[in-house]
Homo-oligomer: A and B are copies of this chain.
Amino acid sequence: MDGYAITHDDLDLEVRWPGGESTRFPWIWMRVNEPGAFDPDTRERLFDLVGVSPDIRPEAVELNGDALVVRWPDSAGESIVPMDWLASRRPGAPIRPDAAAIPPELWDASLAGWLPRHKADGDLGAFLTDLKRYGLALVEGLDEDPEAGPAFGARIGPIQETYFGRVFEVHTRPKPNSLAYTAYALPPHTDLPYFETPPGVQCLHCVRNAATGGASLFVDGFRAAEILREEAPGDFDLLARRPVPFRFSDDAADIRRSRPALTIDREGRLVEVAVSPATADEMQLDADPAETRAYYAAWRRFMAITRRPALTIHTLLETGSMVAFDNRRVLHGRDAFDPSTGERWLRGFYIDWTDIDSRLRCL
C-alpha cells in the first residue's frame, strides 16, 4: 500500500488513504485491539485496559516501511501496527467473515420432493449447511446400533444432557411423563420451551421402525409465522409481545419459563418460535377479558396455520436414518401409530447452535 498520509492528535490517529478518504482510529481502541495485546498461545487478550489511562495516547508514532511503530506510555513499550491491518479495520468493513452466517431459506410442503439427504460418511459441512439453511436435514446409512446417532452427533459437538437424559428414548412406555412416550399423534410442536434456552438442534435417530403409522411430520415455523404476519398482522404482533408460561412437571421436576410464541429481533426478523400446546401452562387471566380472548384467538390462528397440509411434510423414518432439525424454528410431530404392529424406537438428543456454528467455521 502506498500514498497514505498519517496525522495524529491527542485522541486519534488519522489515516488519509490513497483514494482521498480518511479514517480516524482512536488511540484507546488501538491500544486495546492491536495484535500485540493478545497472548500468542491462547489468542486471548492479556492487555488490561484498567491499567492505563482512558486518555491514553502514544509518546511517539513513526512510520517504518508499511507499519506504524507506536510507543505507549505503559509497560507494553512498542506496538508494530501494519498499515494493512488498519486498512482492513475501516468502519463498515466486517472484521471477520463468518462461515456460520447462513440466512434461513423458508420452505413449504414441496420440500418433500427435495428433502436434504446426506450420507452418514459424507461431507459434514454440506450437511450442517443444509441444517442451518432449511432448519432440517436427513442423515442416511447409520448403523442400527443405538449408539450410532450419538456417535454421529459427537462429530459435531457435545451432546447436551437435560432432565430427560443425555439421550432420550422415544418408545411407548408405561406411566409416561411426556406425551412423546405414548402412541398418540403429536401435533407439530417445539421441544422444551420451558427451558431457559430451548435446545438448538434436535436429532432423532431411528433405531428401529416396524410399527404401522407413526410417520414424522415437519413444518417450517418461520414460514408459518410469516404467513400469520401477512394474513393477520395484529395477531403476529400479539404473539411476538405476550409471553406464554410454559411448564413441565413430574414427581422430580418442575421446570418453568415464559417466552413469547414468536421472538423477533429489533428489525422484526424472526429469531425463534415456541409452539407447545401440550406444555403451555395456564395463562393468567387479564382484567379485560377481551385481551384474553384476543390472545387465544391469535394463538389458535397461528396453530391452525402450522397444521396446513400445504406447509407440512410427512416422512417415515427408516431404520438407520436420522433427522436433525432446528428446534426453535422447525416444528415436529408424528402421526399416531399402532404399537401392537411392531416396535418403533427413536433415540433423541440435542446439540447447541454454539457448537454447530463453531464446527461450520472450522471445517
B25 lies within 8 A of A300 (CB): no
Q: In angstroms, how far is the closest chain B Cβ from the Cβ of A174?
A: 9
B277 lies within 8 A of A45 (CB): yes
A45 lies within 8 A of B278 (CB): yes
Q: Name the residue on B nearest A32 (C-beta).
A: B296
A196 lies within 8 A of B353 (CB): yes
Distance, CA A49 to CA B303, complexed state (A): 8
- Let me know if A221 is at the binding interface, CB within 8 A: no
- Let me know if A60 is at the binding interface, CB within 8 A: no
Given A48-B277, A161-B159: A289 touches B12 (CB 8 Å cut-off): yes
Residues of B within 8 A of A200 (CB): 196
Interface size bracket, A side = 35 or more
Residues of B within 8 A of A2 (CB): none
Given A49-B300, A54-B300, A297-B54: A249 touches B43 (CB 8 Å cut-off): yes
- Residues 80 to 106 of chain A near chain B (Cβ within 8 Å): 89-92, 94-96, 98, 100
1/0 per residue A173-205: CB within 8 Å of B? 001111101101001000000011100100000
Number of copies: 2
Given A253-B362, A255-B354: A300 touches B161 (CB 8 Å cut-off): no
Secondary structure call for the A interface: loop
Residues of B within 8 A of A96 (CB): 256, 281
- Let me know if A267 is at the binding interface, CB within 8 A: no
A26 CB contact (under 8 Å) in B49, B280, B296: B296
1/0 per residue A8-21: CB within 8 Å of B? 00011000000000
- Let me know if A299 is at the binding interface, CB within 8 A: yes
Residues of B within 8 A of A357 (CB): 255-256
B163 lies within 8 A of A355 (CB): yes
Distance, CA A330 to CA B134, complexed state (A): 38
Distance, CA A293 to CA B39, complexed state (A): 24
Given A196-B352, A200-B196, A358-B254: A42 touches B289 (CB 8 Å cut-off): no
Interface CB pairs A-B, < 8 A, 6: A23-B285, A33-B283, A42-B179, A44-B178, A54-B296, A257-B354
